[in-house]
Structure 1
């Protein structure tokens, strides 16, 4: 198989896996992360592995522990699939290193691993899709899917938390999620392209939060 054939196969594999997601991590999200990865890659001057970057962008949620019940089984199936379309063990290892270490929750475990440039691109792309207009929509959609409280001014955003606490949605509101995670992502961007896009998306979220709070009481 050539690279184009491999990427078409990965596209179809991921589509079948993610097409039914109802949490904001469906194939539309995957495709945006792929497109953002390609956008960031087009501006990069340093060498990187394009196939690794785009493959990881497609596959980054396949074995995510907040989306699947058996992470190990999902990852094993993904690796077997990549082997079947002629990826080398070293290529599979490069992809899984990215997918293992790119999530925001990983930074809460004090087990940060430096990503390759390809991984940094995918991480930025995934984080960009969590902010701005799409990010606002996804945060509300995900919160609704998990019966989160929309907003309660008496519940203050948490300043620090473990991964387990972060995933405990009983202690979070949808609006607090902006302060606990989304507004932090701009300064965590790795690439020049990611940083530029994050600037405008950050401001859009800040404007939304200002308007939301002004409207919350129904007096405006």
Structure 2
């Protein structure tokens, strides 16, 4: 059983490399691997059962395949479902993995709804993904993504949007990279689901606040 699980994970890693290899470095295969490692670490801190770890690992590894921001073909939305079926992952586990992936995005929680939050494994996978979006790596990813979209770093005349709807969040016209900190990244600390995630988020959040303070001072020629 353990060998079969390990083989499935190896194939999942290969699928991640194939599907995400062409993405910019903010959402590449390395991101998925970091989220997997974080999720397993959080799961152990939260003392999840061993039977939950395969769900956590596969959901974390596969969570960004078919991401709307990088979708090249509508068929990619079915890749994960087809992979799990081909690997013979049982229906109960497969359903949980797919529900976690579908519900874990920030855009799904803007209106106060987090699909899959009733699933024990959901919190650790979502928290892991959000931890990778904040702190030092989060800052690097944010500017990498902004650069890939030719977005300006900062414009004092463009204010961060407040009370965003899901549709508004997904449409990022005339937005700056720095505004993304205020519209999303600085909110993630308070949206963590697990105690382990909350603890780790504190340090990363503080680092982002210090970075932004320095950024604004340098922008204005004060530092």
User: When the two structures are superposed, what TM-score results if normalisation uses the length of structure 1?
Assistant: 0.93
Residue 217, structure 1, aligned to residue 220, structure 2: yes
Range 109-118 or range 169-178, more displaced: 109-118
3-state SS of the aligned residue for 2:65? coil
Distance 1:58 1:205, change over 3 A: same
1:85 counterpart residue number: 87
Structure 2 runs not aligned, ≥5 long: none
For the residues of structure 1 that align with 2:111 and 2:222, how far apart are their CA atoms?
42
Range 81-90 or range 34-43, more displaced: 81-90
Structure 1 runs not aligned, ≥5 long: none
1:138 counterpart residue number: 141
Range 180-189 or range 60-69, more displaced: 60-69
Deviation track 1:113-161 (CA, whole Å, cap 9, x = no partner) reads 2421211111000000000000001110101111112111122111111
For the residues of structure 1 that align with 2:84 and 2:116, how far apart are their CA atoms?
24
Distance 1:46 1:29, change over 3 A: closer
1:1-220 correspondence to structure 2 within 5 Å = 2-22=4-24, 24-47=26-49, 49-71=52-74, 73-109=75-111, 111-115=113-117, 116-220=119-223
3-state SS of the aligned residue for 2:58? helix
The question of whether the paired residues in 2 share the 8 Å contact of 1:23 and 1:145 is answered with no
Range 174-183 or range 89-98, more displaced: 89-98
The question of whether the paired residues in 2 share the 8 Å contact of 1:132 and 1:205 is answered with yes
Deviation at 1:4, TM superposition (A): 1.2
**Count of residues paired in the alignment:** 219
3-state SS of the aligned residue for 1:171? coil
3-state SS of the aligned residue for 1:139? helix
3-state SS of the aligned residue for 1:214? helix
3-state SS of the aligned residue for 2:173? helix
For the residues of structure 2 that align with 1:96 and 1:102, how far apart are their CA atoms?
10
Range 210-219 or range 96-105, more displaced: 210-219
For the residues of structure 2 that align with 1:104 and 1:77, how far apart are their CA atoms?
21
User: When the two structures are superposed, what TM-score results if normalisation uses the length of structure 2?
Assistant: 0.92
For the residues of structure 1 that align with 2:45 and 2:202, how far apart are their CA atoms?
17
